Each structure stands twice: as structure tokens, then as C-alpha cells.
């Protein structure tokens, strides 16, 4: 059925899925946020949430740093890199599971079991 659907599609295309991982997001007094900092796989459905997280972490850490902007940017960068790298790993694992053909076995999980999702962590 799928092959017939693809064959019947007049302008079929293949979309490459890539991960863009960066070693840093702060350059002087400039910080990259959202997709400019990390490109996550679309099946994570996490890009918008990541952009909001990045902005929240930046605002929170700049506020805590008072006038020490460099310290605020570095603190935000550290949390942003943790979150981005974990989201990348999640996307890779999710894609690998789907590609393996192993059916998804839903199970009840609390939000606390996703230890990498912690938007309230801030560094002083």
C-alpha cells in the first residue's frame, strides 16, 4: 500500500533529517537561541519548547547575574547546552526505535522520570 502511494505521488521527495549540535552558544555578548543554537529532529516535537526554554533560562540567569552579563550568559549557555544535547539524544533514540520496527509499548510515566526536562534549574 505504501509503495503504491509513493508511486502515485507526482513529485515525491526525500527529506534528510540531521542533527546540528554546537559546542557553544555564547560569542562575546551574543547568545544563539532556539534553532539557531541546535537543530533537533522534527519527531521530538521539541523545537518550540526548546526556544521558549532557551529564552526563559537566558532571562532568569541574566536577572540573577545583575550587571555581570558575561556570567549570566555563561550560566544560560551551560543549561542550554545540557538541554539541547539531551533533546538531540532523545531524538536519536526515538528515531532508532521507530526505524527498528519495534512497536511502541506505551507505559505510564511521571514527568519526573524525564530527568533531563527540568526548566526550573538555574545557576547563580
Asked whether the predicted pLDDT for residue 124 surpasses 60, the reply is no
pLDDT value of position 7: 87
pLDDT tens, position by position, 63-113: 999 999 999 999 999 999 999 999 999 988 888 888 787 766 655 555 445
Q: Which residues of 72-102 are buried (b: 16+ CB within 10 A; e: fewer)?
A: bbbbbbbbbbebbebbbebbeeebeeeeeee
Lowest-pLDDT choice from 12-16, 51-55, 118-122: 118-122
CB atoms within 10 A of CB 31: 21
Q: What letter does residue 90 receive in the DSSP assignment?
A: H
Vertex 115 angle, CA 69 and 36, to 5°: 45
> Is this model's pTM higher than 0.75 or not?
no
Q: What is the pLDDT of residues 8-27, one digit of tens each?
A: 999 888 888 888 889 999 99
Amino acid at each position: 500500500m505504501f509503495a503504491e502511494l509513493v508511486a502515485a505521488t507526482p513529485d515525491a521527495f526525500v527529506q534528510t533529517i540531521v542533527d546540528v549540535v554546537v559546542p557553544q552558544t555564547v560569542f562575546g555578548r551574543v547568545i544563539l537561541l532556539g534553532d539557531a543554537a541546535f537543530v533537533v529532529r522534527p519527531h521530538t516535537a521539541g523545537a518550540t519548547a526548546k526556544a521558549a526554554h532557551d529564552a526563559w533560562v537566558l532571562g532568569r540567569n541574566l536577572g540573577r547575574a545583575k550587571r555581570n552579563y558575561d556570567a549570566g550568559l555563561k550560566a544560560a549557555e551551560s543549561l542550554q547546552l545540557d538541554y539541547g544535547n539531551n533533546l538531540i539524544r532523545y531524538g536519536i533514540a526515538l528515531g532508532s526505535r521507530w526505524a527498528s520496527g519495534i512497536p511502541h509499548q506505551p507505559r505510564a510515566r511521571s514527568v519526573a522520570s524525564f530527568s533531563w526536562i527540568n526548566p526550573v534549574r538555574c545557576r547563580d
